[in-house]
Structure 1
């Protein structure tokens, strides 16, 4: 079987692949929060049960060697994308049932496991299909389309649901139609990936392409240089954001009497789906270009700052409780740009940690720890918010960012890693 050369058609398949990767993630971990909020579930329950949905991303390293050992990455991600489509259809069809919370959570779990497996295969495909210098160059494009997908889910689909809420006067029916629409979108994206993704792997991988063995994959990973410090950094990089992301939408949606800003579903979707998408794209693309030009070391601290400093603006909104559209949009502009810009460094560092044999599995292990760093704080976020109120909660979110800066002082990695002048090792 003929296989495509590295870097082939990267401008075509990277946007489709990472847009498809982002859609199920944002629907499972963030839009599920909005759905349950609009259907009357409390903040504590939302924070607890939707944070458990991070678990598949945490434990995905347990089956990542199976993706390496069996079949091609392309076959894996196409199969998982199709399964996600059916899971979203199930959510749409069962939202109107009496036991909707339990049943839809089960479908969200199905989508979460399929999405985590899709991530393993997609990220492995990215590393196999590109040389190292192209990996750093395209990290911004990859991150941008992933974030575009998240804004599409958190923005456009939420706007659509808000419009249907007003049309139907029935939140359940509105979200049912929205999730069925999401299923159709996933099917279309699966077809687009089938048509655009080159075949970089042979159907039967050679022995040199396979991991040494299931358990040896883990042993090699945990023997990497400075792995303890690296994992601590991965766990704390998004410690503040992991809590903010769960409570940001409830904050905008909640009534003024309980400390919220009383925005409509449609307004929240519009804010994220317009200015949010533009600033997120600019931040992600700029981050990738700068790392490709100067290397990771120069931009790690500025990007970590850009990821966390905008969180203070949520605290200001909560303390002042201003409903000014300019203040809210301004907060989202800076947050989304900072997120896109700051996340580029994080992704590049994860690729660095995964370097070497079994990089697909090792990247899955690294991102599993990343997901753990999102899941555990997120599980407590609703309880912390109810205890401290929105103003105290967002102040706490700002403080929670500090550990990552302390760990960064001890982190060691090549200063020019990802720089475009560095020749590929592959």
Structure 2
């Protein structure tokens, strides 16, 4: 059996139509198959490879740490330099109230830890999240998801979860003195890149403060320069009580974190002791990679270039088959007609050597979230491929401008 057949037989599948690209190597902006064909990666492993694939600084940090030690003991017992250095550098980039970092393995684990922390610190049970938000797939994190298309088969999930509309100021009255925390994406991702409306996050912050609920910002996708600042919340003059990070944090290695004040975080260490534990969270190699990633972002102008690169995408992506382009830095949703149209565009792009994707709660939009290192030349080529794919799909389906508008 060849590798593709073994993949289908022995690697658990998550859909009936995997992309089935057999990746042999990767470097910078490109993935390569075993025949040597290059694919420009326009989704960065769903926001993970913010510095591209196999960035030299990240690879060197991984090799150096692997030569020293790997796993030693469960998280929080030993003083490990990669953990301490990464936590300290993170804290220096954040407001003073976000000083204590709890490292985990992924975004969904960051969500789970923050939910437990909020309940323990406030002594309350209710957690509120926004409709059409995605915070992870484990049972607690999945309980935050609405609509229930992706969760109904696994019910009952966690009780005490309520949902409000994102950007709905009237809905803020649903946050009460019974609410432990409100979990919100600073920019909603899987609904197809929806930034907050003017003043919404400030009013959300005010309401949480009024009733004593903790405000949790999920920046698992929005963080690490994706929106044009290291953290998206910096652009809205609002500080959360807990911050969730992952994806781009490790430069390609698995790592996540939830971050709070030391006062809040200490709630997990008492009554009961070991209120939240993890074996592999904060793995030394992942933390070393995370440290190299953050140092590289801070010492280069990749983040400063985001808005300029965003503007170029917006300038070029114009076609009767494109209804709208929503963006938050180098994170865009190119809305078209329907799911079949999007799938046809994705397939044609793939044939041309361009890797794209769609969104969990918006199957009419094309996902663009490239590594931050993408060049102007690569942006122009990617847009040419997308527009060509849209044009061919437009003609193949016999569509007119009227069909798009209606």
Instruction: Identify the TM-score tier after normalising by the shorter chain.
Output: under 0.3
Higher relative contact order (CA 8 A, sep 6+): 1
User: TM-score, normalising length from structure 1?
Assistant: 0.24
More strand by share: 2
User: TM-score, normalising length from structure 2?
Assistant: 0.25
